[in-house]
Every structure is written in C-alpha cells, then in structure tokens.
Amino acid sequence: MAFKSLVGEFIDYQHYAFLQVSFSVIESKEFDYTINTGFGIGMEWQILKNNENFILSFEWPLVFSFKKDDFSIMMYIPQAGIHYYFK
C-alpha cells in the first residue's frame, strides 16, 4: 500500500487519457476466391541399364489460375530431375 501511494504521487494519469479507445465491430460479407487447376506432360527414362531405380524425368506443367475477373497462367516452366525409386 505504501508503494502504491508513493508511485501514485509521481504519475500524471491525465497524460494517459488518450489511451482510452473504443472499438466497434464491422461486419463484412465480401467473398474473394481463387481457383487453380492444371495438367502437364512428362517423360521418364531409365538411366542405368542394370538398375531400374534411377530415373531421369522431364515434365512441363501448366497451371491455370481463375480469379474473380482475371485469368492467368501461373506456371509453365519445364522441369527435369533425377529420381530414385525405392522398390
């Protein structure tokens, strides 16, 4: 109690009056959507003749994006990779 009265003498509470803020909730029913779909072609080759687990692959994916009033092609970059399949 003695600490509160000691601190209370040095704090100017009127200085912090601007911190009293009122909030109101705004209801919004706006709905935004994006639809992505795609397909691609690809090929695979066996790298080693005696081992079927190592594969070299090449693919070209196409991904289309549909937004409210916008249509775009998002990804059309060819990809290649070396894969190891655990059999």
- Between 21 and 3, name the one with better pLDDT: 21
- Note whether residue 70 is domain-resident: yes
Q: What is the pLDDT of residues 53-71, one digit of tens each?
A: 999 999 998 888 888 778 8
Overall domain count for the chain: 1
43-57 tens-digit pLDDT = 999 999 898 899 999
**Is 35 among the domain residues?**
yes
Its domain, for residue 42, covers 26-84
Please report whether residue 11 resides in a domain: no
In a domain, 8, yes or no: no
Residue with the two structure tokens 């060819």? 78
Residue type, 56: L
Distance CA(35)–CA(72), nearest Å, equals 11
For residue 56, is it within any domain?
yes
- Check: pTM over 0.75? Answer yes or no: no
